[in-house]
Amino acid sequence: MTDKIALITGSNKGIGLEVARGLGRKGMTVLVGARSAERGEAAAETLRGEGLQTEFLGLDVTDPDSIAEAAARVEERYGRLDVLVNNAGIAKGDGDGNTSELTLATAKEVFEVNVFGVMAVTNAFLPLLRKSEAARIVNVSSEVGSMATITSSNSPILGHQPGAYGTSKAALNMLTVSYSLEFRGTTTKVNAVTPGFTATDLNGHRGVREASDAAQVAIDMALIGEDGPSGEFRSDGRIEYLEGETVPW
């Protein structure tokens, strides 16, 4: 697996950094995608210090020029991409978090990263992913975007208003399905994963899971073989209120 190239967006910290570390430990060359050159370079240097093949790749998922430049750099240096993990995401709300208080400006900002950013990055890198013998695309979603989960009487998040974040993740789930249908019958596999409620900057470190544990499901789905799933929503099977590894849409 030492010749495989993986790009993880938003991987200078948190879950993304742990995904980068995990794939690096599997022998992949890992591209640490991040907006900040300072933080991205620091993260890549940390991983290189652990003996991993890692390179910083400047990438702002909301900036078309940044995306195009990143894709051109990967094409020039590596000629292809084997794994894309769309991890970059934000969560914002207004007022007390009620949907009725959500402004269009906030909703658009969240969707710009969590949905349109994923689409823009994926489409820009598809020519390179198509050059892989067996490309893997993993979209980091959330069970808050699962309509079945958030309305289940057994769920501790019953009654929680998903707001812009949950709505964007539901849209991301459908985007995942859409890509998987496009690549049905090919060696390319596209899946969504939920890391669970993880202590990261996204939620002010209120989460109950460690980033190193939460990242494992994305790592696993990036490594699936030819008999692995595509067009599915997965967890690591250790989130108490989710039954098993397959998460309902």
Statement: residue 1 has pLDDT above 80: no
User: Do 110 and 69 form a contact (C-beta atoms < 8 A)?
Assistant: no
Catalytic residue among 165, 179, 189, 241: 165
Question: Which tens digit of pLDDT belongs to each residue from 158-194?
Answer: 667 789 999 999 999 999 999 999 999 999 999 999 9
The share of the chain scoring above pLDDT 70, in percent, equals: 92
Q: Which of 169, 179, 189, 241 is catalytic?
A: 169
| pLDDT band at residue 152 using 50, 70 and 90 as cut-offs | confident
Whether the per-residue pLDDT at 239 is higher than 90: the answer is: no
Of the candidates 235, 245, 164, 165, the residue with the CA atom closest to the CA atom of residue 195: 235
Q: Taking residues 13-37, what's their average pLDDT?
A: 97
Q: Which domains does the chain have, with CATH numbers?
A: 5-234 (3.40.50.720)
User: Is it the case that residue 199 has pLDDT exceeding 60?
Assistant: no
Q: What is the mean pLDDT of the chain?
A: 92
**pTM for this one?**
0.94
The predicted pLDDT at position 207 comes to 58
In this prediction, residues 46-74 reach a mean pLDDT of: 98
Instruction: Tell me 248's DSSP state.
Output: P
202 pLDDT above the threshold of 70: no
Check if 165 is active-site.
Answer: yes
pLDDT higher than 90, residue 206: no
Q: Is 78 a catalytic residue?
A: no
In sequence order, the 6+-apart residues with CB closer than 8 A to the CB of 167 are: 107, 145
Name the residue with higher pLDDT: 115 or 3: 115
Per-residue model confidence (pLDDT) at position 203: 61
216/19 Cα distance (integer angstroms): 7
Q: Provide CB contacts within 8 A for 138, sequence distance 6+.
A: 83, 84, 85, 86, 190, 191, 192, 193, 218, 221, 222
What whole-number distance in Å separates Cα of residue 138 and Cα of residue 192?
Answer: 6
Q: Examine the pLDDT at 208 and tell me if it is beyond 70.
A: no
Q: What is the pLDDT of residue 248?
A: 92
Q: What share of the chain has pLDDT > 90, as a percent?
A: 80
Residue 94's closest CA among 146, 200, 165, 15? 165
pLDDT band at 198; cut points 50, 70, 90 = low
User: CA-CA distance, 15 to 11, in Å (whole number)?
Assistant: 7
Q: Is the pLDDT of residue 120 over 70?
A: yes
For helices 37-49 and 14-25, what crossing angle results, to 10°? 40
